[in-house]
């Protein structure tokens, strides 16, 4: 077996055999296939696609590159959630303890932000003392004692995917749907969860810009999960507008705690409850009411125990950026558009995100929204507040906001997009 013949097969629109896939994933993980060769293969997959058989085998080969976990020793059924990423997407933070409060165990392996999309681990690391890196034993202990854990995937879980993702990120091949689907599902299947709910974002601030692409990705991932014995469903959700009223690490933690306290923005609460119901149903828990668990404080109790179990101080003050800049509304009227991508880029430029995985982030940086589409704004009143420790970043962030919003005359009718656009099972 050799890399060139594998590349040529996919370059010429052929179907890769199981033997070719197994060999190339194993050889790349071991360093026998060079980065430039795998880059060529990834580009051929981007351009020519893969069928279901190829995607399933590719995913299986990445799972086989590392260890597999299982949670059979737990007394609760397990359910996990994965989001394809967005702006202000803080849903994991209230969702994991909420579902745990309703009787499921939530082993949430999460990632960091890159570019304009935020990362769950970056958000939680703004809590003093909180640790993302846990051993398998620590992860199981936190999960067993609190019902939920949010942490980074260990190096032993699908190492082929970790290496390939880094390569795709710098070779313009991230968009390949077969590679996205196998990347996400190899980690989730290897993780060992019994059920999985996928939140596939659609819109300007999402990875999938069109409903058609999002539906293709969701259907592919649902099939992969199902074929591997993981009960999997997907919700397609709107990401044309940021979720909630904040985009940034500590800012989003604050907002998540508000949701757990029974308040918070309506869209964050709505999506949190929708995903919670799907996760509980997939786990076979039919009689729990997640809305009640938010209202009676039981979800907050799990949050506090989970944060403390990972070394965090749930009552400690969160970081606040040293500098602020207020963007005022240029006219009065109805806010009809607030672009998620532009807001995400502004937050990234303020220091909330990173251009490379090794870059640091500012815990307090980000964008605070004072209105959402459909609401009235007044000329000269705050529309956005920018937060950063580095005031020289303000001008760069403001450039991305020049066309980020539209204001229509008072009385203009406005119909918002529904948050949940479709369900695939």
> Which residues are the active-site residues?
82, 161, 168, 183, 187
Calculate ∠ Cα 132-247-150, nearest 5°.
20
């Amino acid at each position: 077996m050799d890399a060139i013949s594998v590349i040529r097969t996919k370059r010429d629109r052929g179907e890769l055999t199981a033997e070719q896939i197994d060999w190339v994933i194993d050889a790349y993980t071991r360093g026998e296939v060079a980065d430039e060769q795998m880059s060529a293969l990834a580009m051929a997959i981007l351009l020519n696609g893969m069928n279901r058989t190829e995607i399933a085998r590719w995913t299986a080969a990445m799972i086989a590159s590392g260890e597999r976990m299982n949670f059979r020793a737990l007394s609760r059924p397990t359910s996990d959630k994965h989001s394809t990423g967005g702006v202000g997407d803080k849903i994991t933070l209230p969702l994991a303890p909420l579902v745990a409060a309703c009787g499921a165990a939530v082993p949430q392996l999460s990632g960091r932000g890159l570019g304009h999309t935020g990362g769950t681990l970056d958000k939680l690391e703004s809590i003093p003392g909180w640790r993302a890196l846990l051993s398998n034993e620590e992860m199981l202990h936190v999960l067993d004692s609190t019902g939920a854990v949010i942490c980074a995937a260990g190096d032993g879980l699908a190492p082929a995917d970790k290496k390939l993702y880094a390569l795709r990120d710098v070779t313009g091949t991230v968009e390949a749907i077969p590679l996205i689907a196998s990347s996400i599902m190899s980690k989730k299947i290897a993780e060992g969860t019994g059920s999985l709910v996928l939140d596939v974002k659609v819109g300007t601030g999402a990875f999938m810009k069109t409903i058609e692409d999002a539906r293709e990705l969701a259907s592919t991932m649902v099939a992969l999960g199902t074929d591997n014995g993981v009960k999997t469903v997907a919700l397609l959700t709107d990401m044309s507008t940021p979720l909630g009223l904040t985009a940034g690490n500590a800012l989003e933690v604050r907002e998540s705690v508000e949701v757990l306290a029974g308040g918070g923005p309506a869209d964050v609460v709505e999506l949190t409850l929708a995903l919670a119901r799907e996760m509980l149903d997939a786990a076979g828990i039919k009689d729990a009411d997640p809305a009640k668990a938010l209202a009676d404080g039981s979800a907050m109790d799990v949050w506090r125990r989970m944060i403390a179990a990972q070394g965090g101080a749930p009552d400690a003050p969160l970081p606040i950026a040293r500098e602020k800049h207020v963007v005022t509304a240029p006219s009065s009227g109805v806010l009809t558009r607030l672009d998620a991508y532009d807001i995400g880029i502004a937050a990234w430029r303020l220091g909330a995100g990173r251009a490379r995985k090794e870059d640091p982030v500012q815990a307090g940086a980000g964008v605070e929204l004072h209105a959402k589409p459909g609401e009235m704004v007044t000329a000269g009143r705050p529309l956005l507040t920018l937060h950063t420790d580095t005031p020289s970043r303000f001008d760069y962030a403001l450039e991305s906001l020049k066309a980020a919003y539209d204001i229509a005359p008072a009385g203009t009718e406005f119909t918002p997009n529904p948050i949940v656009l479709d369900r695939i099972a």
